[in-house]
Structure 1
Amino acid sequence: MPSRFLPPVAPALAGGLMLAAALLAGSLGLAAPAAAQQSTPALDPGQKAAIEGLIHDYLLAHPEVIVEAVQKLKERQQAADEARQQQAVKQNLAALRDDPKDPVLGNPDGDITVVEFFDYQCGYCKHVAPGLQQEVKADGRIRMVMKEFPILGPASIVGAKAALAAKRQGKYQAFHWAMMQNKAPLDDKTIYAIAAGVGLDLDKLKADMADPAIEKQLSDNYDLAEKLDIRGTPAFVIGDQLVPGALPMEQFRQMVKQARQG
């Protein structure tokens, strides 16, 4: 913990106290003070007991120090995680934006690319879908790359395969938005009913769903999500910024604007 949180001590104990503080900081995952990282003579049992007693008593009297240290650790870990994710995004931009197998909504020649990882059984995905559809249409310059990421069970996988197969009949967009509007529990019967409702040839759809290439595409999406440490849906990449979770449309618009300016 930072030395400013430690009580005044006798000079003879200062070096040992710094070492103990360094060890305590290390146990919390915090950086040790530079002075404490230097070689320090071994403590005799009496000195060790005195130092441990000082720290014990101080922490009992000031437990907020531990709370502050843990909070600081969480902040550092979060910042490190975000930095790693953003670096991974930059290293995988081609796979995110330019895979010709991915369905594209909005303007295919748009000036900004937004990528969405989603699942047809994800309530948050369905919650943002109407606003997203409206925003993409109203903007007119957003290229929306859809990454099928079925992580919520077998029905999600069937739905994702059906969507990718629908792309081969030129009806991905109609099927996608119909699936997002569906409120019933998702199962094979519901999926095929939705497919029939948007005019898909079901025999061809089922044959295409069995194509190993579609299974490979989903596997590639899983691998890409793992590289980016995406663990849930929805997750967006706007420009080169990864944003997990259901975005309010005002934030979505602002991030699109910033990506354009960037």
Structure 2
Amino acid sequence: MRILFASIALLLLPFSAFADGLDEGRIKELVLEAIRENPEIVLEAVGIIEARESAAQAAASMQVLSSQRAALEQDTNAPVLGNPEGDVTVVEFFDYNCPYCRQVKPHMEALLAADENVRVVYREWPILGEGSVFAAKAALASREQGKYDEFHWAMMGLSGRAEEETVIRAAEQIGLDIGKLRRDMNAPEVVEHIETSMDLARTLGFNGTPSFVIGEALAPGLIDADQMIELVNQARVAN
């Protein structure tokens, strides 16, 4: 409220009002009088504040992206789909129990089909309960059997919640060795991947899944194939 009042004062009162040494009480009187005569000025002040906050947030995001770029795009402990040598990287933070993440599945498939020069980095970010953690660990462990891609799509196609029983059933259906899978789920690299996802998501200010990083864009929430393609093209031009 104090910031809003200050913004209105700067909009309405000439510099001389401050230079003349008017006390705060008199300035408030002048501002209130001006608001009564021009109530629309409040909306203008709010717009100025929002624009400044948006600009500050964008600058902060760019600084974070710059400092975290390598961790986001080049982490050797993160699964990569699409073209490993692609010129644009899409990073997706997701949870297998997130219904919106499952809705992204056909859109991600459409992006990969439409653009053979894009690479997708997956960040397993299990934030929706123990089932999500079990599913993320199983998916990451499936890399040891060369079946991450297949297992990932199978998990995204589940009709119910990802819990231990449904995760193991999906693993069996694609031919994974369940004993080895369970052993590999507690490997240091599995734990490290999830911890890094948590840290990166917090640093980027994400508070839910799915969330994407595409070039210089942070895109929290569900986005469709057309939006992905547009952001990829923007990133490609910027490169």
Bucket of the pairwise TM-score, normalised by the shorter protein: 0.7 to 0.9
Q: Which moved more, 1:205-214 or 1:69-78?
A: 69-78
Unaligned runs of 5+ in 2: none
- TM-score, normalization: structure 2? 0.86
Q: Does 1:81 align with 2:61?
A: no
One-letter code of the match for 1:159? A
The alignment partner of 2:218 has SS state of: strand
Q: Is contact 2:4–2:49 with CA below 8 Å preserved after alignment?
A: no
Aligned ranges 1:124-139 → 2 under 5 Å: 124-139=100-115
- TM-score, normalization: structure 1? 0.79
Q: Does 1:41 align with 2:21?
A: yes
Match of 1:95 in 2: 71
Q: Is contact 2:4–2:46 with CA below 8 Å preserved after alignment?
A: no
Aligned ranges 1:222-241 → 2 under 5 Å: 222-241=198-217
CA–CA distance in structure 2, aligned partners of residues 140 and 259 of structure 1: 15
Aligned ranges 1:1-262 → 2 under 5 Å: 24-25=5-6, 35=15, 41=21, 43=23, 48=25, 51-60=27-36, 62-262=38-238
Which of 1 and 2 has higher RCO (CA within 8 Å, sep 6+)?
2
Q: Is contact 2:155–2:162 with CA below 8 Å preserved after alignment?
A: no
Q: Aligned-residue CA RMSD in angstroms?
A: 2.9
Q: How far off its partner does 1:36 sit?
A: 7.2
Decide which structure has the larger Cα Rg and report it: 1
Unaligned runs of 5+ in 1: 1-20
Q: Say if 1:241 and 1:42 are closer, same or farther in 2 by CA, change over 3 A.
A: closer
Q: How far off its partner does 1:62 sit?
A: 4.1
Number of residue pairs matched?
237
Q: Which moved more, 1:101-110 or 1:33-42?
A: 33-42
Q: Which moved more, 1:159-168 or 1:182-191?
A: 182-191
The alignment partner of 1:182 has SS state of: coil
Identity %: 40
Q: Is contact 1:22–1:32 with CA below 8 Å preserved after alignment?
A: no
One-letter code of the match for 1:253? I
Q: Is contact 1:22–1:33 with CA below 8 Å preserved after alignment?
A: no
Q: How far off its partner does 1:200 sit?
A: 1.1
CA–CA distance in structure 2, aligned partners of residues 67 and 159 of structure 1: 48
Match of 1:13 in 2: none
CA–CA distance in structure 2, aligned partners of residues 98 and 245 of structure 1: 23
